[in-house]
Amino acid sequence: MESCKVSKAQIRISVRNMIEFLLRSGDIHIAMSSTRQLQQGTKIHRKLQAETGEDYQAEVRLSLETEFEEFSILVEGIADGILQDGEKIIIDEIKSTSVPLELIDEEYSYLHWAQAKCYGWMFLSQTQAASITIQLTYCNTKTNEINQLHRDFGYKELEEYFTYLVEEYAQWMQMTQSYKAERDLSIRNLPFPFPQYRKGQRKLAAETYRGIRDKKLLFVQAPTGIGKTISVLFPSVKAMGEGMGEKIFYLTAKTVTRQAAEETIALLRDVGLHFLCITLTAKDKICMLETASCNPVDCPYAKGHYSRVNTALMDILTTEILITREIVLVYAEKHKVCPFEYALDIALWADCVICDYNHVFDPRAYLRRFFDFGGDYILLVDEAHNLGERARDMFSAELSKQALMKYRSDWKHQAPDLYKAYTAINKWFIELRKSFEKSYDARTIDLPADFIDLLKIFTHELETYLLINYKSAPQQLTDLFFDCRSFLAAAAMLELGYLVHVIRQGTEVRIKLLCADPSQRLRKTYEKNRAAIFYSGTLQPLDFYQDVLGAEAEDRALCLTSPFPAENFCLLIAGNISTRYRDRAYSCEAVAQYIKAAVDHKTGNYLVFFPSFQYLGQVFDIYQDSWSEYKTLVQQRAMDDEAREEFLSAFVERPSETMIAFAVMGGIFAEGVDLPGSRLSGAIIVGVGLPQLSAERDLISRYYSERNGRGFEYAYQLPGLNRVMQAAGRVIRTETDRGFVLLLDDRFLHKRYRDQYPAEWHHFRKVGSPTEVSEIISKFW
């Protein structure tokens, strides 16, 4: 009988990635690898390679495979140059840098030597030579000066060095391979965690699976209560178990939806899933200092972070499986590492990463380790109706004269080249300010090429300054550098839905690259990943969101109906009242009367949503002056997490007295808040939720008017209607909930609004007075 040979897994790793992971050490300070520097580095490489003789081989691909019992590791790389001069062999590693060459020391070049030594062994192992020379060639990107460092290494020394590194890396891979075998077995045996699917749930799960299998975008409108989170996560996990997807990114806009994802993963774990999941938290919300200061002088966790982080990684990866913010903080304190950077490293090993939109889409904050080149990743975009507006903010970039001025006195003496670059760009801003006839004005322009040229010079000089002074430079200066870099990146993509907006406000002048249409830049991110599933209870009208979010003809859509009985939801529209800005002073009394009429018939908790804090305050004062028998609660302009929790805790089950809470549409209590059962009996929504009129909104409206003739809809009406639907969605959360929504504004009866209502709103009733509202709600209860 012939023996059956089972092929071993081959693990591929680049020399650079292996070195940077195994040998990293030292402190956290500003990372200065910019796109511009990489591009310049490539040009310098080619220039230096072209200047060498015929015996110099450029860009030599090298690889070496090492066998282990359960797998093999193939280490690959490209040596910048190899020079063979008779019996002498030189491995050349070229590094471009903004750092003055006299400041390059052993600490700076440690990883460069390690990388070149690996190339040296990979080449030497294929020859009969006894030794090899390693050459590090540093070229300053500003001065073009060159400095070359040389060392000779013997055959045995390089062999032992390379073997040590690969064996160290193999320990990590052994852990990974064992984990993946257990994970894949658990996925194959994983049952759906409920006895049966709810109405629409199986269809959503099936379409999600098909979207991942076929590498498509899927847009899903699925009402509250259908069980969206489990319906997209379960098929995503199953797809991963079948080799369709390397990692899941569960993207959210709010903390509360992150918690729902964590709870769903925990539910799957309870029925047998072995699946490493981490929740990423914004730097300022996980930093263990009172004020984040990412340098080794101010932060003990930044000092020596890289020397300790691999030990911290091994500890948490061999102990935990569902890693929340709280767990990250425990281990970060134990090992004295930065919790933010630590969590990012954990994400490299995780199967599911729960994070904010900006970790994937924001040019300033996206996870470069994943999305510079992309991968076989599954994007699950929760509450996707938020993504369009968030993407506009993320993709837009702005610079101001004032932002550049703060540190100019320091530069004058410490960095004359930086001061010269600042002076030139400041002069440009002054000329721009003079071009305005009024002290307060705004307009759109074509982006001047001379400004971009000046900004490139300034950004380069600022980068050099920060590289030299990273231990003492304030965080605001680092932020300015990244703002400049983001502006330059956006400037290179102006054809992707941008408008150039310049604003003068007195002596201040700003230039903003406004991303009016985020669809094209979003699409570029999708194309780097396997599939993306977008879902929300208010992703409607679907064609609007598909357009803004970058869908194409071959992408898919699914619209599911509400599983709840229609008779449990009373929807009333008062068509005899105007809440337009010009009419608000006259409507306050009528709004207060409608509130009173709606809440009088059942002891319960009620929410009243307004388009602004000012309007809320006007109506609240009238209501309080006229009626005071019920408990009231008012949302404040600034509320921290504790105040928010205190506000929500007032919505108790089976209340003994009526409570009316006054809040703002589009605010923290209008979305992502779950108040099931008797915790909320009804909502009164005042106005159609239009975003505040602004010059930027008008520019967006003008852009879409020219593109598809729907400018007002895209910029104002549909974003406003979504706020209304989100607020209304707080009322009915489960199959047994009963409640009402009262919409106050005559525009709700206009065809342009009625045409956009979801199916579960089609049974609305028109009312003409508080008395009629009182009669209908009394009968409903």
Q: What are the φ/ψ torsions at residue 422 (nearest 5 degrees)?
A: -60, -45
* In-domain check, residue 525: no
- 597 lies in the same domain as 736: yes
pLDDT in tens, 146-205: 888 999 999 999 999 999 999 999 999 999 999 999 999 999 999 999 999 988 999 999
The answer to whether 120 and 16 are in contact (CB under 8 A) is no
Rounded Cα gap, residues 444 and 75, in angstroms: 52
Q: How far apart are CA 215 and CA 529, in angstroms?
A: 9
- For the segment 741-759, the average pLDDT, to the nearest whole number, is 96
Confidence at residue 40, expressed as pLDDT on a 0 to 100 scale:
44
State the total domains in the chain.
3
The CATH number of whichever domain residue 684 belongs to comes to 3.40.50.300
* Backbone phi, psi, residue 728, to 5°: -65, -30
Give me the pLDDT at residue 142, please: 79
CA pair distance 424, 430, nearest whole angstrom: 10
Domain boundary (113, 137, 172) is at 172
The answer to whether position 227 is within a domain reads no
Range of the domain at 457: 395-515
Residue 328 lies in a domain: no
Whole-number Å distance between alpha carbons of 438 and 457: 31
pLDDT at 199: 87
611 and 741 assigned to the same domain:
yes
pLDDT digits (tens, 9 = 90+) for 473-506: 777 888 899 999 999 999 999 999 999 999 999 9
Domain shared by 475 and 612, yes or no: no
DSSP assignment of 735-749: TT--EEEEEE-GGGG
CATH number at residue 449: 1.10.275
- Do 509 and 576 sit in the same domain of this protein? no
Domain co-membership, 611 together with 760: yes
Are 149 and 15 members of one domain?
yes
Q: Two tokens at 331?
A: 């281990």
Domain stop point among 515, 545, 577:
515
* Contact (Cβ atoms closer than 8 angstroms) between residue 390 and residue 719: no
Tell me: do 502 and 578 sit in the same domain. Answer: no
Q: What is the mean pLDDT of the chain?
A: 91
Per the CB < 8 A criterion, the answer to whether 101 and 145 are in contact is yes
Q: What is the mean pLDDT of residues 672-685?
A: 90
Q: Is the preceding omega at residue 541 within 30 degrees of 0, hence cis?
A: yes
Does pTM surpass 0.75? yes
Q: Are 476 and 586 in a shared domain?
A: no
Q: What's the mean pLDDT in 327-354?
A: 97
- Beta bridge partners, 574, equal 744, 767
Q: Are residues 640 and 499 in the same domain?
A: no
Do 28 and 122 lie in a common domain?
yes
pLDDT confidence bin for 73, thresholds 50/70/90: very high
Domain boundary among 172, 207, 238: 172
Within-domain flag for 90: yes
pLDDT 10s digits, 554-586 = 999 999 988 888 899 999 999 999 999 999 989
457 Cβ neighbours under 8 A, 6+ residues apart: 421, 424
Place of tokens 């779950």: 674
Whether residues 599 and 492 share a domain: the answer is no
Question: pLDDT tier at 2 (50, 70, 90 boundaries)?
Answer: very low
| Cα 493-481-479 angle, rounded to 5 deg | 110
User: For the domain that residue 65 is a member of, what is the CATH number?
Assistant: 3.90.320.10
In a domain, 112, yes or no: yes
Contact 431, 502 (CB under 8 A): no
**733 lies in some domain:** yes
User: Where do we find the tokens 């925990």?
Assistant: 266
Count Cβ atoms within 10 A of the Cβ of residue 527 and give its class: 0-12 exposed, 13-18 middle, 19 or more buried. exposed
Same-domain status, 776 and 658: yes
Q: CA torsion, points 480, 482, 485, 486, in degrees to nearest 10?
A: -110
Cα–Cα dist 559/563, whole Å: 13
| Residue 616 included in any domain | yes
Does residue 426 lie within any of the structural domains?
yes
